[in-house]
Amino acid sequence: MKKVIVITGASSGFGALTARALAKAGHIVYASMRETKGRNAPQVKEIEGYATEHSVDLRPIELDVSSQESCNEAIQEIIEKTGHLDVVIHNAGHMVFGPAEAFTPEQLAELYDVNVLSTQRVNRAALPQLRKQKRGLVVWVSSSSCAGGTPPYLAPYFAAKAGMDAMAVVYARELTRWGIETSIIVPGAFTGGTNHFAHAGSPADKARVGEYEAGPIKVSRTMYSKVSPQSCLLMQMSRALRTPSSR
């Protein structure tokens, strides 16, 4: 059965791939993004070209998840044009990379806004329609960090994703009595096919980044000669991992 679907952050990566796949499956898909007439204008043309080439119903739409007004206007436009809304996919997000201490509190707040508060804005715009229909599906693109496994230098991103994941779990319980289903997607680490790492933010405090890069111990040749070959290898590996060129 054909569904009306809106995906946030659909200019690239998971969002763009998902939008195309769902459109090819026969659904009406709104690929939302900000600055459709600005920096994302090329992505809009790509979407329109894909829709024409594959004869699918894939529609770009302006939706800035950092603005409640923008969210309201986009959802209202979708409902006015289609008469209903079946699926909301929370995909928009932003990643940062670096030692946790080197990020300012303001940077963490901004990351929380993009990854958590954005979903609240979209929900407040879309859920009244889904509750009115007494049916629908809300999909949350979470992180594998929420299922365990937390490598260093990703703490601010993981903290924000944990907040979003917690919201998703509670929303699922609150919406089920309205006939609205919830799915939480937990993808692994993808280094290709997305701009997640390419567009990742970095700490504002470069001095502290330098301290973490240098590390607390300077390993000398004399130290190497006093430890076992196994320990020597481990120290060499640890030092290599702290070198920016090795990441």
Considering the candidates 157, 171, 212, 224, report the single residue annotated as catalytic. Answer: 157
Give me the helix-helix angle, 68-82 and 118-133, nearest 10°: 30
Burial category of 57 from C-beta neighbours within 10 Å (exposed 0-12, middle 13-18, buried 19 and up): middle
CA atoms of 138 and 37, how far apart (whole Å)? 28
Q: What angle do CA 138, 189, 28 make, to 5 degrees?
A: 35
Instruction: Return the H-helix or E-strand segment holding 118.
Output: helix 118-133
> Is-catalytic flag, 212?
no
Helix ranges (DSSP H) in 83-201: 105-112, 118-133, 155-175
Query: Residue 140 in contact with residue 163, Cβ under 8 Å?
Result: no
Closest CA to 197 of 206, 187, 189, 205: 189
> Known catalytic residues?
157
